[in-house]
Chain A
Amino acid sequence: MKINDVILRTVVKAVVFIVLTLGIYLFFAGHNAPGGGFIGGLVLASAVVLMYLAYDIETVQKTMPFDFKKIAAIGVLLATGTAIGSVLFDVPFLSHTDAYYNLPLLGKTHLTTVTIFEAGVALTVVGVVVTIILSISEEGEEQ
């Protein structure tokens, strides 16, 4: 039986972008409003999973040629790196700092090292969730 999933695919095409944007928005909003690295990462991961559900693995891998294990590893390195990095500035392990800067286009912007830490969290979540779901489903296809 051939499953007709035209509707799903069409909807996914539009929805994935909304979900991805939402994920990125949530990530940056997290500092002062609901959101943050963990939720942002989860939303991004769910967008990827949605694509895998609607299309087959090969198609998605062609559009997103990432190794999600490496993404997770980069995330872990970012998070631990921010923690260790503070030692180089002669302050206790895992100290964060923040400041306001005037950036072109964005105007007065609040920059903080927590964002790097949270980016690490987000990347790890994306990488791990997608890796787990992919490896389980790929194994299922081989059988």
Chain B
Amino acid sequence: MIIKLAVLLPFFAAALIPLVHKFIKREQIGWFVLAVPIILFALISSYIPHTANGKTFIHTLEWIPSLSINFTTYLDGLSMIFGLLITGVGSLVILYSNFYLSAKESLHHFYCYLLLFMGAMLGVVFSDNLLVLYTFWELTSVSSFLLIAFWHHRKASRAGARKAMVITVSGGVAMLVGFLMLYAMTNTFSIRELVAQVDVIQQHELFIPALLCVLLGAFTKSAQFPFHIWLPDAMEAPTPVSAYLHSATMVKAGIYLVARMTPIFGGAETWFWLVTSVGLLTLIWGSFNAVRQNDLKALLAYSTVSQLGLIMSLFGIGSLALAFDFSEELTPVFALAGFTALFHLMNHSTFKGALFMMVGIVDHEVGTRDLRRLGGLLPFMPLTFSIALIGAFAMAGLPPFNGFLSKEMFFTAVTSLQHFDVFSLESAVVWMPIVAWLASVFTFVYSMIIIFKTFFGKYHPERLDKEPHEAPFGMLVSPFILCALVVLIFFFPNVLAHYVLQPALASVYPTLPLDAITPHISPWHGFNLELFMTLGVIVLGIVLYKTKRYWSYVYTFLQPRHSFNALYEWIVTTTENTSQRVTNKYMNGYLVHYFTYIYIIFLAVIGGYFVMSGAFNFDPSTDSKVETYELMLVCIVACAAVSLLFAKSRLSSVLITGLIGYSVGFFFIIFRAPDLALTQLVVESVTTALFLVSFKYLPNIKPEPSAASTKWRNAIISVAVGSLVTIIGLTIVNYDKFEPISKYFENSYELAGGKNIVNAILGDFRAFDTMLEVVVLFIAGLGVYTLIKLRGRKEAADIENK
């Protein structure tokens, strides 16, 4: 229950911000918001002692039990890691942005979106139900869209936001399909129950399609090759957002999904090959591209892409631990990869968060983050420099920082593939370690670029917008906390391993004996292969960094028009143009045409169904006798309907329509349906009033000249629709294809506590419909209001790119 409240608290706080932001000063709003992640962090970390002992917490709240959709929160080791990251980095980022963003920005929007994101992300990692997880998953995409487009007056921000949204949401939809397939196999949406039924799933013919769909969702979210293109563009967001969403948390949702699904899909050959090779490809492509960036933030974006690929590939290798029966020698070797993935996940969040904040400080204090203009900042910003040094050395994998430990273990993992001989791994044994090693060389090169191009070299005051000076104390607090963690984790890795990583490992490998597969982390293993690989990285990295200008021409082979960005643009514009062409074909502004489409489809589907199922059977002799006054009413309605065709003015047609409506109301009275009659009468009156006020806008009725054939066609359609409705009305009495539900409603007093069946249906049995209808009605009303009220002001403000 506590965890459930933890997920909901950010949403409550986000809803509260618009209400209270007028009463508190702009600068102070961030401090109130800061309380939320701090409370949550304290709350979640209070569970660490329990999860470290292997305990899990589960709480179910029935949401839509009839569709087996329940809001179940599940706290285990894996969700604990992510919960700590989300709230911990969240606190630091909000603290940082209190100093980073000026009070002139619309801070209440910013923090509202940020809290929405935090809640959604917590929802993703704590949900046990796949559909609830999916909902929160898409919500993170939406809040990321809002945050990237926070400076929405800039064209690049809007384009980046849209790109991120399109790519992640399409992946999300694929993932939903995968979830539905899992449901089709097992009849449950609960992840725990799926894990329990893993044998059923792996034998099922939908196994591979479901695997592919789920991976598509994970790859798009975690910016894996070739979907990585959205992440560099997402850097248009304010830097705290980039540090939080696009390096520490949201992009790791895909990794979370892969880790969560490892017990289900792990051990399958497709899973291993896809996750590992896509991860390694992303790793090398991201690091290779990072080296050529001139914008510090773009460099960090590509480096994030590459590090995400590293973690992904580790989970791929780690899945091999489930591919065969447990063995004392081999299983721990591969489980080490999964362990390293979790370890590097933590490490990456610490050093990359610090680096992003460092770039934000440089941008804030100097006015640019272009590497061609920066240089020689060390004397001005010594503290910022130390952040950059620690972060970049950790990223490059140098001691004494946590990145060194996980990088060494990564090398161990990739080289361990030689111990394994299923899945025809011979080729992989060769190329995978080489790719990993080369990528680490590039990682080393761009880490050096961050440090040396920014803080050393020649200082060019004329190229900078501002006089450089050290950042205020408040901005330095958060990155220094992260840097302290970077160092602390290096010296005490096994504390972290025991309390946080080991329980998470238990969630990834629930079937394996935990103590046997948990490694002991130590910085020194003697002179082994991994150490020589690291030394090689350093030597070749320094050489490549020094000679960069001689080999950087290789990047000219990467033409923009052959890139994945160009492909994305082509897909988007082609889809837009095609759909516009098709839509313009049938949405031509003629009301008659629209009615024709609607009626023809109605005739085909409804009429077709009744004919096919042979439901047309009615027997007039069993119907009750038609009274004279009923016939009179029918005559009135019919006469009014026919005379409507010959009405010459709007007023008379409005009145005649009203007449028809009121007569129908009388039918309801005769047939003893007072609720319907009342509604019908009031609706008719209000509609007539609505017609009266909108008279001014309507042109006079003019006879529209149309060909005789068109008129005949329309007449035939109208008569056919009218007859169909009449016949259905007569048939429906004898219809017995479905079980009647009226028994249910007749018990309304016992089931819903009300004697009025109509209202018991509206307010209780079908209350979900009513609730959403109320919302729709409200949105429609607001739509009318804004369309009319804001129309006149269209030219006033130029909202396009400034």
**A residues engaging B (CB < 8 A)?**
26, 30-39, 42-43, 45-46, 49-50, 53, 69, 72-73, 75-76, 79-80, 83, 87, 90-94, 96, 98, 110, 112, 114, 117-118, 120-121, 124-125, 127-129, 131-133, 135-137, 139-140, 143
Contact = CB atoms under 8 A, between A and B. Distances in A.
Nearest to B683: A42
A98 B775 CA distance: 24
Given A93-B64, A94-B768, A128-B778, A31 B686 contact: no
B753 A112 contact: yes
B701 interface: no
A46 B685 contact: yes
A132 B690 contact: yes
Contacts of B775: 76, 79-80
Contacts of B755: 31-33
Given A73-B778, A136-B690, A121 B770 contact: yes
Nearest to A121: B774
A33 B756 contact: yes
Contacts of B727: none
7 smallest CB-CB distances across A and B, nearest first, come from A128-B781, A32-B755, A137-B693, A34-B674, A98-B753, A92-B62, A36-B759
Given A73-B778, A76-B775, A96-B767, A38 B785 contact: no
B605 interface: no
Interface of B is mostly: helix
Given A34-B675, A39-B678, A53-B689, A94 B767 contact: yes
B754 interface: yes
A104 B6 CA distance: 41
B774 A75 contact: yes
Contacts of A98: 753
A53 to B, nearest CB: 6
B763 A96 contact: yes
B: contact size bracket: 35 or more
A91 to B, nearest CB: 8
Interface in B688-737: 689-690, 692-694, 696-697
Given A94-B767, A125-B777, A128-B781, A133 B759 contact: no
25 contacts: A31-B756, A32-B754, A33-B756, A35-B675, A36-B675, A36-B758, A37-B759, A37-B762, A39-B678, A39-B682, A49-B686, A72-B782, A87-B71, A93-B62, A94-B771, A96-B767, A118-B763, A124-B777, A131-B782, A133-B693, A136-B690, A136-B694, A136-B788, A139-B788, A140-B696
Contacts of A90: 61
B748 to A, nearest CB: 10
Nearest to A78: B774
Contact of B689 (A69, A117, A133, A143): A133
A73 B777 CA distance: 11
A75 B770 contact: no
B63 interface: yes
B591 interface: no
A133 B688 CA distance: 11
A37 B781 CA distance: 18
Contacts of A137: 693
A34 B678 contact: yes
Contacts of A118: 759, 763
